[in-house]
Structure 1
Amino acid sequence: MRIMNHALAGARPTRRSLLAQVAALSIAAAMTTIAPASAAELNIYNWGEYINPAVLKKFEDETQINVNLSTYSSNEEMLAKIQGGATGYDIVFPSVHMQDIMAKLDLLEKTDINTYEGFKNIDPAFMRAKSDPKGEYCLPYAFGSVGIFYNRKILGKDITGWKDLIATVEAKGLKFTLLDDMREVLAVGLILNGHKVNSTDPNELQQAADTIIAMKPDVAAFTYDTRPMVQSGDVAAGHFFVGAMVDVFGNTADLGYVIPEEGATMYQEDICVLKTAPNKENALKFMQFYTRPEVAALNVSQQTNGTANVPARQLTPDNIKNSKEINPSPETMQRLQIFEDLGPGLRQLDRVWTKVKTAQ
């Protein structure tokens, strides 16, 4: 297996855990075209630290197909590189809303993965892409929530959600962090005001922005560097992905992760084959390989994300299998919202996000 542009090699495996490092890749590097493919190659383009190397090795050992892995830090970075003319990639892992965008741009290959026998393992609830409701193009890969990672030793208690966190840090003179992510942060403001996270209503967005601005005296930073800050006690808590459960499992006495009682966002990425893929047959073999429960379970065991592969959930380690954070109850799932493609409406969010970031 060969890793290219893999700025996160050696880091602990949480989705987007060190996005800032990957985002620092130069424009020149972002436009690089990967090496020409051969019949025995597969070129995968995935989020940083978002696949267990053991999965790729298992695929290589079984198929004798050499896997080349490159990484990106955001949906937008991946799309820009594909649209910018980078060639040679076979498989990408877009979030659901980005899959819909890529479908509109005619960038994805129809794979008919839904006709493969292993597709029966996929929970139909994860067929969320509006452009692919039957799974004719892409295969659900992984999902998770975006909640609050916290240090109970610093807070002196477990917390239940955003209102509880804010009241606690204000009472104790503590700080927390928010993600440096426009949609995730504005989603918190929208949820706290009873609105949908995909709202483009100017009044609702302004209300959300005002809510976040009111938090800013208690916010240490807008950052992705949340995990070490919470672990060290530099901040009491941080807005972060469920991948932080890898740290909670390592220190259950002091650390916790909660899906806020007010509601939260969730993410889901899918495995998609590019229309320009030079190794479409090998890409389809990988998708078929990933429908196997033991393969999905091997990935989840290192990633601490959820999986859409139902039988795989029973094959994961007990701490993951029994985690209500990684595998939320049906009731909790009802409180999770997933981002959609907003089209031109995204400009409304840009405007209020600028106000949030510049407010004193």
Structure 2
Amino acid sequence: MKSAITSAALILGLSATVALAEGNLNIYNWGEYTSPELIEKFSKTYNVHVTLTDFDSNDTALAKVRQGSSGYDIVVPSQSFIPTYIEAGLLAETNPGQMENAKNLEERWRDPAFDPGRKYSVPWLWYTSGISVNTSVFKGDINSWKVILDPPDELKGKINIVPEMNDIMFAAIKFEGGTWCTGDKALLTKVRDRLVEAKKSWLSIDYSGIQRMASGDVSASLDWSGSALKRRTENHNIAYGLPREGFTFGSDNAVVLKDAPNLENAKLFQNFVMAPENAALNSAYAKYGSAIIGAEKFYPDNMKDAPELVIPADMESKGELLTLCDPKITQLYSRIWQDVQK
């Protein structure tokens, strides 16, 4: 059995002893979002066999976990869903904010409102939501939701929308001059009408539609920063716009389930991914920004100074940390989204 010396008093809440790790770790994460090199390094370091299972949306992951006895140890939901996990009693209080590598957390991710003191979660990767555009097809202003909600002729029939209700509802609400989580019925009527009309110009509502941008089949898409960077590495005509009407930023975060069958290995993993060189492996693979100080030193050349990973100073005030709305408001948004998908 392979042993690993840790600061156990900080990491595992135990006396400072040698922590012995072996066995298994089961991770439930977004597809194409976990570095194989990271998994291999963790496995070799702690003699732990890691099994990775993909999910395609926050709703899918939450529904699976709610059923209980999932067999997963680590789940990686977006920050807007973490309060729901906490309130439902689904998470183990592992106190990663007190772990040895917590000193590497960037200041803005150290004590987030969705998990004060980092009692449950560690940042996986962070992102903004915006618009990817093929600039060989459209040469106009890409920093507005108008690109996908009131598109120019050259983009009609060539637009993809990722099927994330909160992202597209946020975009439409901001485009119509509203505030997130508004229940203003008059404004939401405008939002619904805007989306239904805009849909006539969309080619697809699909996660995989983003991937078709590199080939030119799709020329614009509601997108996320890391995804946009990955597309640009495949097609240099693709650029990423942050809408001036307002955009979201957020992070996905590794949490440990309360019924995790491999609790101690899950804690080791939370600390492990907060080391700069390890966090950088995830960034290099998925092309999203790390929330760990020093990780950027280990980025590959195509990520260093990438504009997709920077929020310009004059746009900082336009960004909002995406949160889940009151259930009654969410129901209103769900009805609108269902109308759009018909």
| 2:160–2:210 Cα contact (<8 Å) kept | no
Q: 1:102 to 1:155 in 2, by over 3 A?
A: same
Identity %: 29
Structure 2, unaligned runs of 5 or more: 1-20
What amino acid is aligned across from residue 150 of structure 1 in structure 2? V
| 2:232–2:239 Cα contact (<8 Å) kept | yes
Give SS of 2:269's match. helix
Work out whether 1:354 is the aligned partner of 2:333.
Answer: no
Give SS of 1:320's match. coil
What amino acid is aligned across from residue 286 of structure 1 in structure 2? F
Residue equivalent to 1:244: 228
Give SS of 2:152's match. helix
Give SS of 1:154's match. coil
| 2:79–2:114 Cα contact (<8 Å) kept | no
Residue equivalent to 2:16: none
72, 80, 91: which one pairs with 1:89?
72
Partners of 2:230 and 2:249 lie apart in 1 by 18
User: Where in structure 2 are the equivalents of 1:161-176 lying within 5 Å?
Assistant: 161-163=144-146, 169-170=152-153, 175-176=158-159
User: Where in structure 2 are the equivalents of 1:35-46 lying within 5 Å?
Assistant: 39-46=22-29
Q: 1:125 to 1:173 in 2, by over 3 A?
A: closer
| 2:28–2:74 Cα contact (<8 Å) kept | yes
What amino acid is aligned across from residue 140 of structure 1 in structure 2? P
The Cα of 1:117 is off from its aligned counterpart by: 2.8
Give SS of 2:142's match. coil
Q: 1:302 to 1:152 in 2, by over 3 A?
A: same
Partners of 1:172 and 1:132 lie apart in 2 by 40
The Cα of 1:282 is off from its aligned counterpart by: 0.8
| 1:142–1:305 Cα contact (<8 Å) kept | yes
| 1:154–1:233 Cα contact (<8 Å) kept | no
Partners of 2:111 and 2:96 lie apart in 1 by 15
205, 211, 216: which one pairs with 1:222?
205
Residue equivalent to 1:20: none
User: Where in structure 2 are the equivalents of 1:136-147 lying within 5 Å?
Assistant: 136-147=119-130
User: Where in structure 2 are the equivalents of 1:63-102 lying within 5 Å?
Assistant: 63-102=46-85
User: Where in structure 2 are the equivalents of 1:91-130 lying within 5 Å?
Assistant: 91-127=74-110, 130=113
The Cα of 1:109 is off from its aligned counterpart by: 0.7
Residue equivalent to 1:337: 320
The Cα of 1:56 is off from its aligned counterpart by: 0.5
Residue equivalent to 1:6: none
The Cα of 1:178 is off from its aligned counterpart by: 2.1
| 286-295 or 339-348, larger mean C-alpha shift | 339-348
| 169-178 or 238-247, larger mean C-alpha shift | 169-178
| 266-275 or 38-47, larger mean C-alpha shift | 38-47
TM-score (norm 2): 0.85
The Cα of 1:168 is off from its aligned counterpart by: 6.4
The Cα of 1:299 is off from its aligned counterpart by: 1.1
What amino acid is aligned across from residue 246 of structure 1 in structure 2? K
| 297-306 or 211-220, larger mean C-alpha shift | 211-220
Give SS of 2:187's match. helix
- Count of residues in Structure 1 that have an aligned counterpart in Structure 2: 320
| 1:113–1:288 Cα contact (<8 Å) kept | yes
Partners of 1:196 and 1:321 lie apart in 2 by 34
Structure 1, unaligned runs of 5 or more: 1-37
User: Where in structure 2 are the equivalents of 1:1-360 lying within 5 Å?
Assistant: 39-127=22-110, 130-156=113-139, 159-163=142-146, 169-170=152-153, 175-242=158-225, 243-252=227-236, 254-345=237-328, 346-358=330-342
| 171-180 or 66-75, larger mean C-alpha shift | 171-180
Deviations 1:93-116 (A, max 9, x none): 111121100100011111121112
| 197-206 or 187-196, larger mean C-alpha shift | 197-206
